[in-house]
Structure 1
Amino acid sequence: MTTRITRRSMLAGTAAAAGSLVLPLPHVMRKASAQDTITLGVVTPLSGPQQLIGNFVKLGAEIGADYVNANGGIGGKQVRLEFRDDKANPNDATVVARELLGAGVNLHLGAVASPVALVMGPLMQQEGGVHLTSGAGTEKLNHENYNDHAFRIGDGPYSRNAGLVRHIIQSNPEVDSWGGIIPDHEYGRTTWAIFVDAMLRFYPELTGKEPKIEQPILVPYASGDYKNFIAQAMRLPVKGIYTSVYGGDAVTLYQQAKPFGLFDKLDVLLDSANEFLAARALGKEVPVHWSGSHWYFETNKGNPLSDNLYEEYVKRTGDKYPMGWAGEAQAGIIAYKAAIEKTGGSTDASDIVAALKGLTFDSATGPRTIRAEDNQAIKNAELIKIAPSDTAESGFEVTDYVSVDGAAIIEPATPGKALELKVL
C-alpha cells in the first residue's frame, strides 16, 4: 500500500525507528567477523521531524549493501551496516558517531541535515574517520567549511538549482520575469542567491537578453498561515516563481495558494527540492511544478543500480515513488566499495580519503567523479515535472523529466572560501 504523507507526518515523523537499530556486536564477535566483513556506519535521522528522510537513507543503504554482497562484496568481504540515530541534531550525531568510531567503525555515511554534515568533517579528521553525506543541503560543506574527511558524493545545492534554471530557460525562454517565495533562514536565502546567480549567468548566455527578477518574498519557517505572503505574490509582475519552502511548509503554502489562483496565473513554478513530498501529501491538489531530485527511477531505466534500487524499494515498501535520498545512500555504499578496492583493501581513513579524491564510481544516476580539490561529486541534475492527475491512484503524475549535464552547471571549486555568487 502506498504511504500517504501529510504535513503532520512530515513535521512529527513516526515512532518506528528505534526497533530497527542494529546494536554493536560484542568485541570478541566483532574481532572474529572482521576477517570476512567490512562494517560501515550509517548515521542519519531515525526519529524526530526528519525521520521520513532518514528512512529513505536507511533503506537505500540496505539495498546498496545487499546489492554489493550479492555481487561478491568488497574484495570478497561482505558489507555489514551499523545504524545510528542522529535525530538531525549535531550534538546527537557527534555522540553516536563517536560511539561507532570507538567500536572501530570509521567509515560513515548518512548525514542529511546541514548542521550534522558540517560537524562531521572536523570530527572525522580528529578521530580517524570519513563521512559521506546522503543529501545534506549546505553549500558550505565544500566551500568555507571544507574538510578533507567529509565528502558530498551527490549533487549540491548549486548544481541542483542551476540545473533547474538552465532547463527552464532552454525550454521556456519567454519566461523572463521571476519572483521568489523563500523561507527566511540560511538555506532559503542561500537557495535564492543560487537561483539569482544561475538566472543572471544562464539567461543572457542562452537568450541574449537580461532577466527581470523581483525581490523575494521571505516567509517564516514553520508558519501555519501564508495568506498575506500569497497576496503579495499575487501582485508580483512575474511569469515564474521559484520557491525553496520545504516539506510540510510547502504543503501548507500550496494548499493556501490554490483558492487565490496564484499558480494559475504563472507560466512556471520551480520547486527547489521537494521531490515527491508535496505531491504525495496533496495528490490532486498539487500544483503543476518542476522539482529537483537526487534520483528519479524513470530517468535511469536500464541502469542496473537504478533498476535494482527501484525494484527492491517497491518490493520492500509497496510504494512506487521513492525519494532521491535512497539513491544517495546507495551511492555511498558503492563509493566506499570503489574506494576500498582502489586502496587494495585498506579501510584506514587516510587511505580512503586519498582514494575518494578524483574517484569515478558508478551510481543509480550513472558515473560520478569526485573532485579532488573540494570533495564535491560532479553529478547530473535530475528534474521532474509533477502535475495533478484524475486517473493516477496517487492523484499526481510525472509528465516530464530531464537530466542536466553536471559538468555544465557545477560551481567552481573554492575549498576554504565562500561561494561567490552574482547579485541583483
Structure 2
Amino acid sequence: MRRSRLATAVACVLLAGACASPTETAGDTGPVMVGLIVTTSGPLAAYGQQWLAGFHAGLSYATGDTGTVNGHKVEVTEVDDTADPAKAVSAAKDLIGKGARIIGGSIASGVAVQVAPIAAQNKVLNLSGPAATDAITGINRYTFRSGRQTLQDLATTQAMVGDTTGKKILVFAQDNTFGQANLAAVKANPRGAVVSGILVPVSAVDFTPFAAQAAVVKPDLLSVAWAGNTAPAMWQALKQQGALDHTTVVTGLDLRASYPTLADVASRLTLAAHYFAEATTNPVNQAMIAAVTAGGGQVDLFTADGFVAALMLVHAVQASPDNVDKQITALEGWRFDAPKGRQTIRAADHAMLQPMFHARFTNHGGTLVPSAVRALSADETAPPVVAMKQ
C-alpha cells in the first residue's frame, strides 16, 4: 500500500526551546520530501497505524496547520513494508531515489536495523519508529529514535521488582529481533539472578508446549516480551499450563485492543509501561489526545512516538530543509516537551531519554483500564551510552 499526503508545517514549534532561525536563502521555498516506511498490514499493522496517527497529529500541532516550515511545504509519502526488511530496504532506496531527504517510521526491530544503514549510505535523516531493539542506538549519526529501547523497558522492570539476587528469571519471548534483544538485555544485566529464556518461533500457532516448558522452570520472575495479534493465545496457554502460578509476572503494556483478552490474567501482571493515555495530564498529551480523537481515532501504545517523530521532523527542517548535517546538529541534545513529559535526545548516541511508567490494571465497571503506579524519570531509565558506529 502506498499513499501520499500533504502535511503541514510552520516556522516555530509550539514547544519550549523549539524555535530556530531560518538557514535557507530568501526565495528558496521548495518542498521537503519525507518518506515514511511503516507497517500498516499484517500482525503488526495496529502498531504502525498508531504511529502514523500520532505523526499526523504531531505535525499538525507543531505547525499550527499552516502547511509550511520556514516557507517549505512538507510532502509525506507513506509506504507499507508489511514488517518485511527486504520490502523496507527497497522502499527506502526508492523513496530516496525520488528525492526524499528524510525517512523514518520503522515499527519492527528487524526492519529498523536494515533501514538505518541505508540512511547512512545516502546521508539522509532517519527518524526511526517504535522499534525497540537496542541496536538502533548509536547505529549511525543519521539515525534517531522516536521511541524507547529495550534497555529502558528493562530499567523500568528492574525498578518494579527490586532485588533479584539469587532468584530465577525466565524470559518468555518471540524468536525475532525484538524478543532476542529482550533476552540479551536481561542476560547482560542479571543483577545476581540466574537468567534463562524460551524463544518461541514467530510462526507458532500452538503455544502449549512452550508454556509447558515455562511451567517446568518455576521461575521467581517470568518476564514476557511479546508483540502482535498472537498475544491472547499466548497468555491463555501460559495460564492453562500453570506458568503464571506462584511467580511474579512482568510484561510490557500492550495496545488497548489486547486489554479485554487479559481479563483472566490481569490481576497477576506487573506492567512496565512505555505510554498510555492515562499516564500523564500534561498539555502536550492533552493536545495529542484531542487531535487524534477529533479525527475519529484513539490514542494508543505508539501514538506518542509518532507525535514525537513529527516534532523532531519540524525541528530538523527549521535548522535546514536539505542540509542533513545541520539537521543532525539541531536534534543532538535537543530537549523538548512531549506527551510523556520532558524528553532529551542524547547527543553521544541518539538515545531518546524519556519517562517510563510502572502500571497496573484496574477494573472499572467490567472494563480493564491501566493506571500509573509510579513514573520513572528519564534519568532513572537512561540506557548506558554507546559509541556511535558511523
Q: Same fold (TM over 0.5)?
A: yes
Q: Figure out how many residues of one structure are paired with residues of the other and give that number.
A: 368
Give 1:328 shift: 0.7
Give the TM-score of the pair, scaled to structure 1.
0.76
Tell me the distance in 2 between the aligned counterparts of 1:251 and 1:133. Answer: 28
Give 1:310 shift: 1.6
Aligned to 2:354: 379
Quickly say closer, same or farther: Cα 1:355–1:87, change in 2 above 3 A.
Answer: same
Quickly say closer, same or farther: Cα 1:188–1:383, change in 2 above 3 A.
Answer: same
Amino acid at match of 2:175: D
Aligned to 2:156: 163
Root mean square deviation of aligned Cα: 3.1
Contact 2:110 2:177 in 1 (8 A): no
Give 1:36 shift: 7.4
Identity %: 20
Contact 1:221 1:249 in 2 (8 A): no
Quickly say closer, same or farther: Cα 1:127–1:180, change in 2 above 3 A.
Answer: closer
Aligned partner of residue 101 in structure 1, secondary structure:
helix
Unaligned runs of 5+ in 2: 8-26
Aligned to 1:22: 4
Tell me the distance in 2 between the aligned counterparts of 1:182 and 1:241. Answer: 10
Quickly say closer, same or farther: Cα 1:284–1:390, change in 2 above 3 A.
Answer: farther
Aligned to 2:196: 215
Pairing 1:290–2:265 present: no
Tell me the distance in 1 between the aligned counterparts of 2:364 and 2:286. Answer: 28
Quickly say closer, same or farther: Cα 1:34–1:298, change in 2 above 3 A.
Answer: farther
Higher strand share: 2
Unaligned runs of 5+ in 1: 1-17, 26-32, 201-209, 418-424
Aligned to 2:80: 85
Quickly say closer, same or farther: Cα 1:101–1:256, change in 2 above 3 A.
Answer: same
Aligned partner of residue 368 in structure 1, secondary structure:
strand
Give the TM-score of the pair, scaled to structure 2.
0.82
Aligned to 1:192: 183
Where do residues 39-118 of structure 1 align in structure 2 (5 Å cutoff)?
39-70=33-64, 74-75=69-70, 79-118=74-113
Aligned partner of residue 407 in structure 1, secondary structure:
coil
Question: Cα deviation per residue 1:341-400 (whole Å; 9 max; x = unaligned)?
Answer: 3x2x4432222122222222322112222122212121222343235x3724xx422144
Aligned to 1:317: 296
Aligned to 1:391: 365
Pairing 1:240–2:221 present: yes
Amino acid at match of 2:158: V
- Of residues 285, 288, 304, the one that matches 1:306 is 285
Question: Cα deviation per residue 1:120-141 (whole Å; 9 max; x = unaligned)?
Answer: 3332233231111111122112
Amino acid at match of 1:90: P
- Of residues 147, 151, 159, the one that matches 2:140 is 147
Aligned to 1:334: 311
Higher helix share: 1
Where do residues 345-424 of structure 1 align in structure 2 (5 Å cutoff)?
345-386=320-361, 389=363, 391-392=365-366, 395-415=367-387
Tell me the distance in 2 between the aligned counterparts of 1:48 and 1:227. Answer: 23
Quickly say closer, same or farther: Cα 1:369–1:227, change in 2 above 3 A.
Answer: same
Tell me the distance in 2 between the aligned counterparts of 1:228 and 1:162. Answer: 30
Quickly say closer, same or farther: Cα 1:90–1:188, change in 2 above 3 A.
Answer: closer
Contact 2:38 2:107 in 1 (8 A): yes
